[in-house]
Structure 1
């Protein structure tokens, strides 16, 4: 059960909604042009507890469960996705590795500082040859006689790498065998000898969200840096953290789709063609109807997947189904939004033009749409085979 009451959570949502409407949306173009989140907005997010909204209260966070997380994500998705990206890894794929799998000592060392935003944690998993499927991981960690580990390898597209204080780093310690995948996860301070961060990536969208390559060249960390104190925690931690993150991304997609629809409705109500508001044209109404239907379906699916996660009923197929549908849906909604706006929707000053570029990434990170289909289809067939063997 959540530690946050319904009343308190309503207050949190209201505060975030007001913050986005009054302070972030007016500065979206500024964020995009500067490719950075202004310092005052970053500090405001820290003050509101957004760097630790999903970290348990005992470690200084707000303690939202995933059902509440999704509702918050729908609000955060209503503005530039780079704002959420600034604190997303602290709450999500990086922070949840520590919450779910860290030792007491590791939690005490890092979680309060992650929750406050004093430490930015990055999730260093993706490599050129190992993205949605980490089994191809090439970064290696070798244990020394004194118990230390030496890490060598490179990561790519690592969110918040240029500002990270801590890299939650996945590395292979042995080939996969009957005992497990042979993938461990380590807590590597960004200032450790041998850690270097490449130039900031130049991306299609989500300006203000910082990503870069990270290189580990003979990086030495103590035995205490091994998450959970076990070599075999890594793969399970990655899969669990990513599955949880997929539900969150579903909520983000719904929020962004709602923004695209709202922008389209405002445009359809005032823009005219031949003296008639374009919203009166039935073909424009058809686009708006399809957008609304997709958003309603996505919102219901995201909430259902979150509820199933919280109850423990389904933490595998439902997250993948929600992410697959919602991220594909927001792509379609964004496309229709540009169409409704016509030529003005293709101009850089248009909100829907930014949304069109921003949401393309949602179908790629934390597991591509193709990977989600494999998880869902494979899981269904596996269950069907079990059912077929029953007397």
Structure 2
């Protein structure tokens, strides 16, 4: 195994790092507390071409390798994890359209999605269906050349900016097994009956909206059926979530990296009993624990990303990386808060935001408990080996 980055990947990381340090780090704390949408940062990401990460070069995108994809989410999350959410949902959707869309759908959407002129999202979860997507109740009834869509989606990142919004629906609610009756429709912004009703209040993950979306008899042309074939929606969604789990794992690494950076700096500067607190063994042990978890999570994430670049099925690897890295992010954020003592609880320091952002990583793109069973079943079935 070679865990060294290529020259191109190192240059890409340095470009990202400079952007984050200049455009995100100085404003993240204040903008998050103000509830301000990061319009200027989004424009900066457009300028770097980051909205085209998952778009093939033939349609104007970067078509980045998966390790570079992970580097992007790691570096942006080091500055402000919520910003990574804007790019994450967009990239997962772009990857899905690029892989499963018809040529007409690709030509229509991907070039403008690559530049960020259009943005997108993915509407899967519902008030009564999160991890168990086969339980969704949103339906799409065929009526001539259209589908008529009715239902409600919940926790949809980028919902107010998505055009198109891919929506997971049941085109055959009576199908057995249920996934055979599920399809993905590309719903254009402004379609009559499509309403973004509210932004959900959240503990962390600020900077991007997470919305309730109501579809009240929205008419969607049949040409907007992703891939042109009914009954493939769940498979299309789940395949795209493999990249989503890489991006969550990488976001977790970014949170852990910032927790380390802030803790190391504070341990060197904060004085107690006439010494820098970093001179005390208790602080040293917490600091070393952060560093160990951080580097292990980073290597596991890069390993899973490299497996995807090899073109192999890697749902087990991406699940393992997501589980480990997200757990590490929360542990690192907690230890960083302890190193900071009372100041770790203050909104004037970065670590309280890390502490609020980290828990989402164990929930997003499949809860860690659910992913643990997916990994175990794959191992028991002999579909993956650990050696």
Using structure 1 for the length normalisation, give the TM-score: 0.93
State the 1:8 CA deviation.
Answer: 4.4
Cα distance in 2 for partners of 1:199, 1:300 equals 39
1:341 matched to 2:340? The reply is yes
Q: Contact conserved, 1:51 with 1:88, CA < 8 A, in 2?
A: no
Cα shift at 1:23: 1.7
* Structure 2 residue 82 is matched with structure 1 residue 79: no
Unaligned runs of at least 5 residues, structure 1? none
Note the 1:294-373 alignment, pairs <5 A.
294-373=293-372
For residues 18-40 of structure 1, give each alpha carbon's deviation from its aligned partner in whole angstroms, at most 9, with x where no partner exists. 01111210001232023233332
Instruction: Output the CA distance in 2 between the equivalents of 1:253 and 1:180.
Output: 30
- Contact 1:142/1:149 (<8 A) preserved: yes
Q: Distance in 2 between matches of 1:225 and 1:119?
A: 16
Is 1:124–1:169's contact at 8 Å kept on the other side of the alignment? Answer: yes
Assess, with a 3 A threshold, how the Cα gap between structure 1 residues 180 and 267 changes in structure 2: closer, same or farther: closer
The CA distance in 1 between the partners of 2:278 and 2:188, in whole Å, is 54
Tell me the residue number matched to 1:29: 29
Aligned length: 380
8 A Cα contact 2:77 2:83, kept in partner: no
Displacement of 1:81 in angstroms is 1.0
Q: Aligned-pair distance for 1:191?
A: 0.4
Q: Is residue 2:203 matched to residue 1:201?
A: no
SS at 2:58 equivalent: helix
Q: 2:248 touches 2:364 (CA, 8 Å); kept in 1?
A: no
Match of 2:230 in 1: 231
Counterpart of 2:109 in structure 1 is 110
For residue 283 of structure 2, what is the aligned residue in structure 1?
A: 284
Q: Report the Cα distance in structure 2 between the residues aligned to 1:114 and 1:132, rounded to whole angstroms.
A: 28
162, 182, 186: which one aligns with 1:164:
162
Q: How does 1:153-192 map to 2 (within 5 A)?
A: 153-174=151-172, 175-177=174-176, 180-192=179-191
Contact 1:34 1:208 in 2 (8 A): no
> Would the aligned equivalents of 2:74 and 2:254 in 1 still touch at CA under 8 Å?
yes
Distance, in Å, in 1 between the alignment partners of 2:254 and 2:286 is: 18
**Alignment partner, residue 15 of structure 2:** 15
| Closer, same or farther: CA 64–98 of 1 in aligned 2, 3 Å | same
Alpha-carbon distance, 1:180 to partner: 4.9
* 1:359 to 1:179, Cα distance in 2 relative to 1, 3 A: closer
Is the 1:52–1:90 contact (alpha carbons within 8 Å) kept by the matching residues of 2? no
Listed as ranges, the matches of 1:19-168 within 5 Å are 19-92=19-92, 94-144=93-143, 146-168=144-166
In 2, Cα distance between equivalents of 1:108 and 1:6: 32
**Distance change >3 Å, CA 272–CA 213, structure 1 → 2:** same
Residues in 2 aligned to 1:40 and 1:177: alpha-carbon distance in whole angstroms: 48
How far residue 177 of structure 1 moved from its aligned partner, in angstroms, is: 2.4
SS at match of 1:220: strand
Q: 1:184-226 CA deviation, whole Å, 9 max, x = no partner? A: 0000012001100012111101221111100111011111000
Q: Distance in 2 between matches of 1:180 and 1:7?
A: 43
> What is the root-mean-square deviation of aligned Cα atoms in Å?
1.8
Shift of 1:16: 1.3
Instruction: Report if aligned partners of 1:20, 1:79 keep a CA contact under 8 Å in 2.
Output: yes
Q: SS at the partner of 1:374? A: helix
Scaled by the length of structure 2, the TM-score of the pair is: 0.94
Query: C-alpha separation between the residues in 2 aligned to 1:178 and 1:53?
Result: 34
